């Protein structure tokens, strides 16, 4: 895949980046170089390679999956001026 001047200008416009003509011409070469490197990565044989989340082995920290009400309703409404059964009471605004 290669990028031409029109594509660079279109991407710059979509990203709302002001790009002069000289900068756009320079970016054509830079973007084509980046895309060439990405194409090289597709040639690497990754059969049998396990996906990694880190370069060092580590176990994911997990918590038990329990459904709770949070147990913090009283703390949440503690500073409210008016509450009723752990609900905020607000003045009526629509008649």
Over the stretch 49-89, which tens digit does the pLDDT of each residue have? 888 878 888 887 888 888 887 888 889 999 999 999 889 99
Give the chain's domain count. 1
Query: What is the per-residue pLDDT across 12-62, written as a single tens digit (0 to 9) for each?
Result: 999 999 999 999 999 999 999 999 999 998 899 989 888 887 888 888 788
Residue 24 lies in a domain: yes
Q: φ, ψ for residue 88 (rounded to 5)?
A: -75, 135
Q: Is residue 33 part of a domain?
A: yes
84 SS3 class: strand
Counting Cβ atoms within 10 Å, is residue 8 exposed (0-12), middle (13-18) or buried (19+)? buried
Q: How far apart are CA 52 and CA 4, in angstroms?
A: 35
| Both tokens assigned to 95 | 């008649």
Q: Where in the sequence is the domain holding 11, given as residue range(s)?
A: 5-41
Q: 8 by DSSP, 3-state: which?
A: helix
CATH number for the domain harbouring residue 12? 1.10.20
How many beta carbons lie within 10 A of that of residue 41, not counting itself? 8
């Amino acid at each position: 895949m290669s990028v031409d001047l029109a594509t660079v200008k279109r991407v710059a416009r979509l990203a709302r980046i002001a790009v002069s003509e000289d900068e756009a011409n320079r970016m054509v070469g830079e973007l084509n170089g980046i895309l060439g490197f990405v194409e090289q990565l597709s040639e690497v044989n990754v059969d049998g390679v396990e996906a990694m989340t880190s370069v060092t082995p580590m176990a994911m920290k997990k918590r038990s999956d329990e459904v709770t009400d949070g147990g913090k309703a009283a703390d949440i409404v503690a500073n409210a001026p008016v509450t009723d059964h752990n609900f905020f009471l607000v003045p009526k605004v629509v008649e």
